[in-house]
Structure 1
Amino acid sequence: MNIALALKYLYLGADQMKEFEVRDNGHGEQYIAIWNLDKPKPTEEELQAAWVAYQEAGANKPPLMTALEKIQAENAALKKLIEEKDHENKNALFEIYNMLGESSTS
């Protein structure tokens, strides 16, 4: 279990540098060394439950897009926008030509 991440999950917005500090005892075991939150220090069971919930929340997040996927998505959106504007411009030019043709025959 990562106690710091469990605490951040339990107390959203808590500042690890000011409100709590997690340390390792040198044998790979973490513990809460400093607790400055105005809430009771969580029990081992509460920390374990928060750790499980944190992991499940992360597992349910959609995967992050890679830089290449972001660029490809942006390019597709730009291409669609350009095509829409091109279509609008062609329609506008067609209307102008029609108006000019009507005014020359009048």
Structure 2
Amino acid sequence: MNIALAIMYLYPDANPTHNFIVQDNGPEPVLRPGAEEKGRVRYEIKTPEVGEEPVEGIHYRYGIDYNLLVEGEDYDLVERGPYIAVWNLDEPQPTVAELQAAWEAYQEAEANKPPVLTEIEQLQQENLLLKAQNNALSERADFIEDIIAEMAMQVYQ
């Protein structure tokens, strides 16, 4: 399911760069229990001034260094898939069931649309139409010419 297209089907006036943002972060690491201490690293942000106590988030932060961990033993890579990261519309955010129904309706609407022709195909179709019109006009002119000839024969007899 393409969440962005489903939302645009539900809310056609929505701006996908301002009203909502759909993200897919790809595979993300999920730590197993007990692995946090094994890969925990303290990163210095700035050194505290003289006499100042270091404060987490200002002077340092803790993070996980996945190079110190083993995939499959300490963490797993999990695919979350696409999700709505930002929702700025006044309407309530649609549920997964509503998005799925909108996606199916969108696909049905797209399937019933006439195919979009390239410029060359449009010109070819226009050319065929003009040829048919030209043939019809030519046949009509021949018919009128035959009628005039018959009328002339009737008049001169």
TM-score, with structure 1 as normaliser: 0.70
Sequence identity, in percent?
Answer: 38
Q: What is the CA–CA distance in structure 2 between the aligned matches of 1:10 and 1:24, rounded to whole Å?
A: 15
| Distance verdict in 2 for CA 1:35–1:61, change over 3 Å | same
Give the greater-gyration-radius structure (CA).
2
Q: What does the per-residue CA deviation read over 1:41-79, in whole Å, with 9 as the maximum and x for residues that have no partner?
A: 321221133224323543454432222222111111111
Within 5 A, what are the aligned runs for 1:14-93? 14-17=12-15, 21-24=19-22, 27=25, 29-37=83-91, 40-59=92-111, 61-93=113-145
Unaligned runs of 5+ in 1: none
Q: What is the CA–CA distance in structure 2 between the aligned matches of 1:29 and 1:41, rounded to whole Å?
A: 12
Q: What is the CA–CA distance in structure 1 between the aligned matches of 2:24 and 2:9, rounded to whole Å?
A: 25
Q: What is the CA–CA distance in structure 2 between the aligned matches of 1:9 and 1:2, rounded to whole Å?
A: 11
Equivalences, count: 99
* Displacement of 1:93: 0.9
Q: What is the CA–CA distance in structure 1 between the aligned matches of 2:118 and 2:22, rounded to whole Å?
A: 34
CA RMSD of aligned residues (A): 2.6
Q: What is the CA–CA distance in structure 2 between the aligned matches of 1:101 and 1:86, rounded to whole Å?
A: 23
The 8 Å contact of residues 4 and 16 in structure 1, kept in 2 or not, is answered as no
